[in-house]
């Protein structure tokens, strides 16, 4: 059944074609290497149709025949794989003190992963655009040198990004109402590919949804563990941004009214009791943003050593985190909640307590089937997701023009 999610839009043949091209492309992505016959058998498309679709995709250099054939009764199949070489998708992640740029090919293979330090916290959005544009240009020229066509660029920003890509508030960066996508497009001077901006948690969720071990889950929530705590929500197989794009702001859910005062002015917000700040406030109150990673390493070391106050601190954080996740699970019933950011190294001391609280508080039988897992994508999840956002456009049928 064809459904268009935002109001009814008429369909015609080009839509059928685009849909079926996307079906084949996604099938090959998930089942490569595979033959035309496999595709026909599994998707239900006619063999003839599959041949035509595959020919089209090969023409556009999205697929490639490996020539490899299996060894069994019958005519050997010509196997198909995604063609990694001719395209690239770029993702950029802005943080307080660094920018990360990644480029991936159609398969999601990482082509490069550059990290540049960057005084985001102190400079305005204008300077940031210049820095991002400079980095983007270098990535693009590298991709061009490798004879790759850039399909798009997406920027992940820690903050509220509205549905039009305007950065409304990015507290850690000190930005307000910045038209980052527009400014960056201008700075890149007609780049020939779309430039998009989205929230970092949303994009990290997208990365998990496409590349993570739970990529089959149509309903998942990714939780960022930085100074701020935010969530990206995938429901029914797509990112859900809400009416204005501000969904997933779980950092200021109240989990402990007796807790400390949050930077938002109220008490006991999830972020203030279970965010990374809540840990560092106790262990390294004067740490600057650029020292976060080192400080967390130190916390991990002390936890490994079994230091009692650290273990208690982490258990407490885990419990509060579990309460927050219970609210998430009760409201959204995801198949999995994935903890990211600095929660990853701390996970061994957080997850058990968090799970206990979670399962104790979820109303649905068996916790509604909701598992609490730890991200395996590393710190660059948002940047990876930003690149995945580009690939999503391709997957949903906006294929690059024929040669």
Closer Cβ to DNA, 56 or 254, answer by number: 56
The verdict on 287 binding its own copies (CB under 8 A) reads: no
- Distances from the Cα of 180 to the Cαs of 114, 156, 168, 348, 399, in angstroms? 20, 11, 10, 38, 25
Angle among Cα 298, 301, 303 to the nearest 5 degrees reads 110
Q: Report CA Rg, the chain.
A: 23
Binding site for DNA (CB under 7 A): 10-14, 16-17, 20, 35-38, 44-49, 51-55, 69, 71-78
The least CB distance from residue 241 to its own copies, in Å, is 7
The verdict on 257 binding its own copies (CB under 8 A) reads: yes
Closer Cβ to DNA, 30 or 293, answer by number: 30
Of residues 160, 104, 93, the one with CA closest to residue 128: 93
Burial 141-156 (b: 16+ CB within 10 A, else e): ebbeeeebebbbbbbb
Closer Cβ to its own copies, 102 or 358, answer by number: 358
Closer Cβ to its own copies, 25 or 133, answer by number: 25
CA–CA dist 301, 295 (Å, integer)? 10
The verdict on 266 binding its own copies (CB under 8 A) reads: yes
Q: Which does 134 bind (CB under 5 to 8 A by kind): DNA, its own copies, none?
A: none
Q: Which of residues 368-387 bind its own copies (CB under 8 A)?
A: 368-370
CA–CA dist 323, 317 (Å, integer)? 10
Q: Which does 217 bind (CB under 5 to 8 A by kind): DNA, its own copies, none?
A: its own copies
The verdict on 341 binding its own copies (CB under 8 A) reads: no
Q: Is 209 left (phi over 0), alpha (psi -120 to 50) or beta?
A: alpha
CA–CA dist 123, 120 (Å, integer)? 5
Closer Cβ to DNA, 6 or 14, answer by number: 14
Q: Which does 305 bind (CB under 5 to 8 A by kind): DNA, its own copies, none?
A: none
CA–CA dist 87, 151 (Å, integer)? 7
Among 20, 199, 316, 375, binds its own copies (CB under 8 A): 20
The least CB distance from residue 9 to its own copies, in Å, is 7
Q: Which of residues 94-133 bind its own copies (CB under 8 A)?
A: none
The verdict on 238 binding its own copies (CB under 8 A) reads: yes
Burial of 17 (0-12, 13-18, 19+ CB in 10 A): middle
Q: Which of residues 294-333 bind its own copies (CB under 8 A)?
A: 323, 326-328, 330-333
The least CB distance from residue 402 to its own copies, in Å, is 19
Q: Which does 295 bind (CB under 5 to 8 A by kind): its own copies, DNA, none?
A: none
Q: How many CA atoms lie within 13 A of 379 on its CB side?
A: 14
55-63, 253-261, 281-289, 383-391 -> range binding its own copies (CB under 8 A): 253-261
Phi, psi of 216 (to 5 degrees): -80, -15
Bridge partners of 153? 90, 195
């Amino acid at each position: 059944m064809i459904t268009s999610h935002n109001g009814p839009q008429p369909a015609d043949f080009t839509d059928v074609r685009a849909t079926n091209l996307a079906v084949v492309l996604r099938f090959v992505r998930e089942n490569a290497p595979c033959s035309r016959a496999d595709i026909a058998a599994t998707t239900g498309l006619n063999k003839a149709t599959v041949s035509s679709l595959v020919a089209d995709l090969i023409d556009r250099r999205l697929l490639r025949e490996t020539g490899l054939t299996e060894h069994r009764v019958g005519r050997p199949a010509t196997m198909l794989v995604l063609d990694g070489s001719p395209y690239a998708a770029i993702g950029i992640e802005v943080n307080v003190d660094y920018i990360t740029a990644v480029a991936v090919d159609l398969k999601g293979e990482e082509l490069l992963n550059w990290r540049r330090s960057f005084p985001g916290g102190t400079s305005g959005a204008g300077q940031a655009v210049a820095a991002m544009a400079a980095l983007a240009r270098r990535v693009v020229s590298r991709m061009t040198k490798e004879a790759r066509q850039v399909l798009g660029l997406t920027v992940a920003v820690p903050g509220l990004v509205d549905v039009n890509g305007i950065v409304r508030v990015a507290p850690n960066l000190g930005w307000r109402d910045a038209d980052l996508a527009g400014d960056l497009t201008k700075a890149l001077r007609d780049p020939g590919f779309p430039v998009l901006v989205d929230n970092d948690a949303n994009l990290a969720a997208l990365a998990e949804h496409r590349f993570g071990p739970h990529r089959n889950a149509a309903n998942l929530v990714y939780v960022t563990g930085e100074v701020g705590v935010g969530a990206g929500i995938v429901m029914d197989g797509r990112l859900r941004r809400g009416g204005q794009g501000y969904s997933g702001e779980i950092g200021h859910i109240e989990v402990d009214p007796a807790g400390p005062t949050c930077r938002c002015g109220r008490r006991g917000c999830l972020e203030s009791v279970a965010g990374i700040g809540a840990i560092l406030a106790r262990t390294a109150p004067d740490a600057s943003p650029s020292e976060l990673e080192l400080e967390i390493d130190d916390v991990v070391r002390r936890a490994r050593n079994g230091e009692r106050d650290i273990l208690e601190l982490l258990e407490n954080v885990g419990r509060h985190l579990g309460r927050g996740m219970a609210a998430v699970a009760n409201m959204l019933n995801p198949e999995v909640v994935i903890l990211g950011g600095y929660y990853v190294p701390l996970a061994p001391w957080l997850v058990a307590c968090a799970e206990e609280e979670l399962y104790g508080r979820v109303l649905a039988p068996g916790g509604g089937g909701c598992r609490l897992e730890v991200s395996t994508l590393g710190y660059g999840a948002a940047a990876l997701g930003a690149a995945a956002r580009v690939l999503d456009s391709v997957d949903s049928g906006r294929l690059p023009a024929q040669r």
